[in-house]
Amino acid sequence: MKIAITESKTFAGKNSRYPWQVRMDQHVVSFRSEAQACAFVETLQARLRAPHALPVRNRQRSA
């Protein structure tokens, strides 16, 4: 996943109060400050790096 923090060049409309954007591939999340955007990215990257256990299927064979 490509993650980028950018400052919005347009401050019109509903995003005027949220000038910082975190882009994750085609998804965009807006933030009020660069610090909030950076904190979000740090948390996201930590969760992506965390180990993820795959579910184990308990199969019982009928005889």
In the predicted structure, residue 63 carries a pLDDT above the cut 60: no
Residue type at 8 in one-letter notation: S
> What's the confidence (pLDDT) of residue 55?
87
Express the helix, strand and coil content of the chain in percent, nearest 5 each. 35, 25, 45
> What's the confidence (pLDDT) of residue 30?
94
Taking the C-alpha atoms of residue 63 and residue 61, their distance in angstroms, rounded to an integer, is 6
> What's the confidence (pLDDT) of residue 15?
53
Q: pLDDT tens digits, residue range 1-54?
A: 899 999 987 655 555 788 999 999 999 999 999 999 999 999 999 999 999 898
Task: Describe the strand order of the beta sheet including 3-7 as a list of residue ranges.
Answer: 3-7, 20-24, 27-31
* Whole-structure pTM value: 0.72
Structure tokens at 52: 């993820």
Structure tokens at 18: 């949220």
